[in-house]
Structure 1
Amino acid sequence: MPLATIGYESQTQDAVIARLKAAKVAVLIDVRAVAASRRAGFSKTLLAASLVEAGIEYLHLRQLGTPKPGREAARKGRIGEMTEIFEAHMAEPAAQLELARATAIAADRKTALLCYEADHCGCHRKILAEAIAETLGCEIENL
């Protein structure tokens, strides 16, 4: 089964949940370092409750988020710099443990990785998705 990724940058919570349901996602893994958002419906507690109500499990894996310097680089369009910072972060034991946890979940149930960026190409979730897909030998479906 493919591993999904989704960004909510220009979406409503209802639209994101509808896309997840249409893709038959069972588990959404929030890969934001800070699971808060100025966009209505995307802060951790409200998002988790809404997903559970829709029949989708929610899990926040903070260590799979981009450290603050990486987020700042991404906001300035410096994707290469963000990638370097994130890859260094992913070498840390806590990040490796959460990556292993995400991989195990994705091996068992249809999973989506969630972050803010609409375009997966400019987001760290692309790096995560590629690492998980390589381990599992699955396709990546960008919703």
Structure 2
Amino acid sequence: MLNRQKTLLTLLVTASRGVSKLELTKWAFLVRQETTSQGGNAFYDFLPYKYGPFSFCLYREIDGLVRDGYVDVMGDSSLNPTDLAVDVVESLSRNVRKDSLRIVQRFKALKSDYLIDYVYNQYPSYTVNSERQKLVKRKVAEPKVFTAGYEQMSVDAFLNRLIDNGIQRIIDVRNNPIARRYGFHKSTLSRLAGYLNIEYVHIPELGIDSSRRRNLITDGDYQKLFNHYEQETILVQKEAVDRVASLVKEKASVLVCMEANPICCHRSRLANAVAELTDLNIHDLGYCMK
């Protein structure tokens, strides 16, 4: 079991009562934001959603804990830990357990509305998509040739980065958009982005087959591959490149692939071609991963 899942169970065990998914999500967010441990390594990332900070990964893993018998769902939809949960809590690091206890002790007496009010007031940037109250207006960027890689990121962190940068559309330029990491398979990424009012477009003809990316070691290997990509794809798939240029000019759109560093990704060459067609600047959304 992942340590972040143990942290969720610790929050439930410490509460000594049924806890709603909304409460558990906000408590986990506060563990991340207001404790020294921040929930430990590889804890959940959060993004702004209907009722403030939210994590698609967290909700998915709650369902897994229910399925595996660590959590019971009561008639009022509240979550209660089982004896199995109690058994695993002790294996969590002492610091994270202490921080989880502090958060529960501070907030468990608050009704949901008051808990949400606290989170909204302390972290207003997470209200940009709220159906309850928007304290900050969502950013909308001016068109540029934006690019981004999701390597080493959770889907929550990745989508939050897009929201923070005012992105309105994903242009997926992977040849075969499947991924082991939750959230980055084509259908899942499209669905999750849609929940956040981010459009998703897939243009597979501008990708590179994974078989051609094997055994890339040196900078020269990458440059040779991408030189071939320019000749065999960008120049040949002119209609697809023109489509990307049109989409990029229309509203803030980001070319998305896996690699964090754009220099190691074909999207950098595609971005150059699109920039020439549109006279827009290129801006990568960064690859300093959490």
1:63 to 199, 205, 217: 205
Change (3 A) 1:83 1:73: farther
Change (3 A) 1:73 1:130: farther
Q: Are 2:233 and 1:85 aligned?
A: no
Structure with greater contact order relative to length (CA < 8 Å, sep ≥ 6)? 1
Worse-matched range after superposition: 59-68 or 111-120: 59-68
TM-score, normalised with respect to structure 2: 0.46
- The residue that corresponds to 1:115 in the other structure is 257
- The residue that corresponds to 1:2 in the other structure is 144
- The residue that corresponds to 2:83 in the other structure is none
Aligned mates of 2:214, 2:239 — CA distance in 1? 25
Worse-matched range after superposition: 19-28 or 80-89: 80-89
- The residue that corresponds to 1:138 in the other structure is 280
Change (3 A) 1:109 1:73: farther
List structure 1 runs of 4+ shifted beyond 4 angstroms.
Answer: none
| Structure 1: gaps spanning 5 or more residues | none
- The residue that corresponds to 1:127 in the other structure is 269
State the number of aligned residues.
140
Aligned mates of 1:122, 1:69 — CA distance in 2? 16
- Would the aligned equivalents of 2:234 and 2:270 in 1 still touch at CA under 8 Å? no
Counterpart code for 1:85? H
Aligned mates of 1:130, 1:89 — CA distance in 2? 14
Aligned mates of 1:90, 1:84 — CA distance in 2? 10
TM-score, normalised with respect to structure 1: 0.91
Measure how far apart 1:69 and its partner are: 4.6
Aligned mates of 1:100, 1:59 — CA distance in 2? 14
- Would the aligned equivalents of 1:17 and 1:51 in 2 still touch at CA under 8 Å? yes
Aligned mates of 2:157, 2:165 — CA distance in 1? 12
Identity %, equivalent residues = 29
Q: How does 1:10-25 map to 2 (within 5 A)?
A: 10-25=152-167
